[in-house]
């Protein structure tokens, strides 16, 4: 049965993938950050500790988060469509490309050091999102 | 000529007599009795392994025991060891904790090793075989790589100029600086390989980049060198990594850009924490750091405006506006970090905003 996007179930499925792909995520190295993914009006809190995603939940308050990746649901769908079709985001749909020039996807933050966690752990965060390639996800 | 110790050990009758007594079974085992502070260090998170922070929990071995000015140990003895009389001074010149310290250095050191990568095998080089860059674009990439190699080599040089002058009590910072040297060497290696892969070449070095890097490397004190290298130069390198990844059209360049960003970000993280600790402990130094950055930012403007950087960026970005956007973002994020480091609103005194306005006009 397909997992709907956006949904808490979808992000929990990505969380489980970091446990299933333990070798790949250990190879990327330690990743200690708690960040947000804002899909339209919905905000998901995603916590990484050591090598894996340890917590995923819905939240209202972005203040404790290091940073929030924020975009309309249509852009997230487009990004995950690229992930599914290319077995990982193509060059135009990496989170760096989407956030770098033109602010297609916005990075919200209050603390510049929290913001820099995005850059320090970008490879792991991209790998986390790329795990959608293994899910039966409903992007309609 | 090597250092000449005050005693000729090969002719020292006292030493020879001691050796003979020990060989005859007269062991006094004084070194075995001198264990004033036994500890039981264990990994607090076994999956993370035994970290520097784990073994620093005991106040007799952790950094909390370091005084602001180290006067008790100029030898090679590790912090927490028993110091016998007569240890030689190794001539350390950087002996103030606030000159070097950042609490995050231990985490960044562990992170550097954990997030290691090997350019020879981890970069998917074969992805470059299918790339359809025009000759101009290919040369522009080689040109960007050439600048990154120069920057990375200097980023290895700067810590090397200071690490041997630092007191051994600051060993966590020295470990971290060695990790920086290795990280910088790997970046130089990776971008040299990128430039020369297939039908590659190096590009033309830049006089303006050279002037900028000379300003960084010639910083008179370690805090000024750290502000120049970690806070300023590597804010730019991190942004350049983001732009490199943004411009990539293949898995190899995406990988290289992402790793450049992550490795540069550790330099930045240390720089923010170090300078914040430094000016927090010694507020009188705040203006000294700001005056130094006024000068070194001028060097960055030179590199921003150099044809060896600006033109390949325009060729690869498809015009000037994405480059201006990249410069604005890089400078804006740098100013945010300066504020977080306790340097105040540098945008009000820095020459960088005027340069950005010139670009917009």
Q: For tokens 């590199």, what's the residue? A: B303
Q: Measure in Å the smallest separation between the Cα of B266 and chain A Cα atoms.
A: 7
Do both B309 and B183 map to the same domain? Answer: yes
Do both B147 and B271 map to the same domain? Answer: yes
Assess if residue B31 is contained within a domain. Answer: yes
Do both B57 and B101 map to the same domain? Answer: no
Cis peptide preceding A6, ω within 30 of 0: yes
Cβ atoms of A108 and A67 within 8 Å: the answer is yes
- ipTM for the predicted complex comes to 0.96
Assess if residue B2 is contained within a domain. Answer: no
- Pairing state between β A106-108 and A68-71: antiparallel
Structural element, H or E, at residue B104: none
pLDDT digits (tens, 9 = 90+) for B173-231: 999 999 999 999 999 999 999 999 998 999 999 999 999 999 999 999 999 999 999 99
CB-based contacts of B322, cutoff 8 Å, min separation 6: A101
Provide the pLDDT for residue A102.
72
**CA end-to-end span of chain B:** 60
Number of domains in chain B: 2
Assess if residue B27 is contained within a domain. Answer: yes
The tokens for B125 are 């080089």
Last residue of a domain, one of B43, B65, B87: B65
The answer on pLDDT for B336 being more than 90 is yes
Provide the pLDDT for residue B359.
86
Domain ranges of chain A: 3-134
Going by pLDDT thresholds of 50, 70 and 90, the confidence category of residue B36 is confident
Structural element, H or E, at residue B306: none
Going by pLDDT thresholds of 50, 70 and 90, the confidence category of residue B1 is confident
Q: What is the pTM of this model?
A: 0.96
Alpha-carbon distance of B237 to B192, in angstroms, equals 16
Torsion, Cα B61 A120 B326 B186, to 10 degrees, reads 80
The answer on pLDDT for B91 being more than 90 is yes
Provide the pLDDT for residue B319.
94
Q: Which of A54, A122, A125, A127 to mutate to test the interface with B (most CBs of B within 10 A)?
A: A122
* Cβ neighbours of B99 (radius 10 Å): 25
Q: Measure in Å the smallest separation between the Cα of B125 and chain A Cα atoms.
A: 16
CB-based contacts of B50, cutoff 8 Å, min separation 6: B41, B42, B43
Provide the pLDDT for residue B38.
84
Interface subset of A 8-47, CB within 8 angstroms of B: 28-30, 32
Cα-flanking dihedrals φ and ψ of residue B72, to 5°?
Answer: -95, -10
DSSP A43-112: EEEEEEETTEEEEEEE-S--TTSS-EEEE-HHHHHHHHHHHHHHTS--GGGSHHHHHHSS-SSEEE-S-H
Assess if residue B203 is contained within a domain. Answer: yes
Q: At what angle do helices B135-163 and B234-247 cross, to 10 degrees?
A: 150
The answer on pLDDT for B113 being more than 90 is yes
Do both B130 and B15 map to the same domain? Answer: no
Cβ atoms of A88 and A134 within 8 Å: the answer is no
User: Which of B64, B228, B89, B262 has its CA nearest to residue B159?
Assistant: B228
Assess if residue B86 is contained within a domain. Answer: no
The domain in which residue B318 lies consists of 97-360
Tell me yes or no: is domain A3-134 CATH 3.30.1050.10.
Answer: yes
Assess if residue B242 is contained within a domain. Answer: yes
Assess if residue B301 is contained within a domain. Answer: yes
Q: What does the pLDDT average to over B49-78?
A: 95
Provide the pLDDT for residue B69.
97
- Pairing state between β A137-138 and A3-4: parallel
Going by pLDDT thresholds of 50, 70 and 90, the confidence category of residue B33 is confident
pLDDT digits (tens, 9 = 90+) for A92-126: 999 999 999 877 899 999 999 999 999 999 999 99
Provide the pLDDT for residue B103.
98
Q: What does the pLDDT average to over B281-310?
A: 98
Angle at B46 between CA B40 and CA B109, to 5 degrees: 85
- Domain CATH for B148: 1.10.620.20
Alpha-carbon distance of A20 to B51, in angstroms, equals 25
Q: Is B348 exposed, middle or buried (0-12, 13-18, 19+ CB in 10 A)?
A: exposed
| B47/A51 Cβ within 8 A | yes
Assess if residue B72 is contained within a domain. Answer: no
Do both B212 and B120 map to the same domain? Answer: yes
* Cβ neighbours of B156 (radius 10 Å): 17
Do both B191 and B322 map to the same domain? Answer: yes
Q: What does the pLDDT average to over A67-85?
A: 97
The answer on pLDDT for B164 being more than 90 is yes
Q: Which of A98, A114, A116 to mutate to test the interface with B (most CBs of B within 10 A)?
A: A116
Cα dist from A81 to A5, A93, A137, B54, B304, whole Å: 11, 9, 9, 43, 37
Do both B19 and B142 map to the same domain? Answer: no
Q: Look at phi and psi of residue A102 and say left if phi exceeds 0, alpha if psi is from -120 to 50, else beta.
A: left
């Amino acid at each position: 049965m397909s997992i709907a996007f956006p949904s808490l179930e979808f992000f929990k499925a990505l969380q489980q993938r970091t446990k299933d792909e333990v070798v790949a995520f250990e190879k990327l190295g330690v990743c200690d950050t708690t960040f947000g993914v804002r899909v339209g009006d919905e905000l998901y809190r995603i916590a990484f500790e050591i090598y894996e995603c340890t917590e995923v939940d819905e939240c209202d308050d972005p203040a404790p988060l290091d940073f929030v990746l924020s975009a309309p649901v249509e852009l997230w769908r487009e990004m995950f469509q690229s992930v599914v079709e290319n077995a990982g985001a193509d060059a135009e749909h990496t989170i760096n490309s989407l956030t770098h020039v033109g602010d297609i996807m916005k990075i919200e933050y209050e603390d510049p050091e929290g913001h820099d966690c995005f850059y320090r752990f970008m490879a792991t965060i991209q790998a986390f999102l790329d795990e959608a390639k293994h899910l039966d996800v409903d992007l309609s | 000529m090597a250092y000449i110790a005050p005693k000729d050990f090969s002719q020292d009758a006292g030493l020879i007599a001691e050796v003979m007594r020990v060989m005859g079974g007269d062991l006094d085992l004084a070194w075995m009795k001198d264990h004033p502070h036994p500890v039981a260090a264990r990994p607090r998170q076994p999956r993370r392994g035994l970290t520097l922070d784990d073994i620093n929990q005991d106040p007799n071995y952790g950094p909390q025991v370091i005084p602001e000015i180290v006067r008790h140990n100029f030898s090679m003895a590790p912090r927490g060891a028993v110091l016998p009389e007569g240890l030689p001074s190794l001539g350390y010149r950087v002996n103030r904790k606030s000159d070097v310290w950042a609490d995050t250095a231990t985490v960044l050191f562990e992170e550097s090793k954990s997030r290691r990568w090997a350019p020879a095998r981890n970069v998917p080089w074969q992805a470059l075989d299918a790339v359809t860059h025009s000759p101009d674009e290919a040369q522009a990439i080689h040109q960007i790589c050439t600048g990154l190699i120069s920057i990375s080599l200097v980023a290895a040089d700067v810590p090397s100029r200071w690490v041997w002058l630092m007191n051994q009590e600051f060993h966590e910072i020295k470990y971290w600086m060695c990790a920086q040297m290795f990280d910088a060497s790997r970046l130089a290696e990776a971008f040299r390989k990128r430039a020369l892969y297939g039908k590659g070449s190096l590009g033309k070095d830049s006089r303006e980049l050279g002037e900028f890097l000379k300003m960084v490397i010639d910083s008179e004190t370690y805090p000024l060198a750290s502000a120049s290298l970690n806070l300023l130069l590597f804010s730019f390198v991190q942004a350049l990594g983001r732009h490199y990844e943004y411009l990539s059209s293949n898995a190899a360049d995406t990988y290289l850009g992402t790793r450049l960003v992550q490795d540069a970000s550790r330099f930045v993280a240390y720089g923010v924490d170090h300078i914040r600790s430094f000016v927090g402990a010694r507020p009188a130094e705040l203006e000294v750091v700001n005056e130094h950055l006024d000068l070194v930012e001028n060097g960055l403007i030179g590199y921003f405006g150099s044809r060896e950087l600006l033109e390949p960026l325009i060729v690869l970005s498809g015009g000037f506006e994405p480059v201006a956007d990249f410069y604005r973002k890089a400078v804006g994020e740098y100013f945010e970090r300066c504020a977080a480091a306790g340097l105040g609103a540098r945008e009000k005194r820095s020459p960088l905003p005027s340069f950005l306005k010139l670009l917009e006009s």
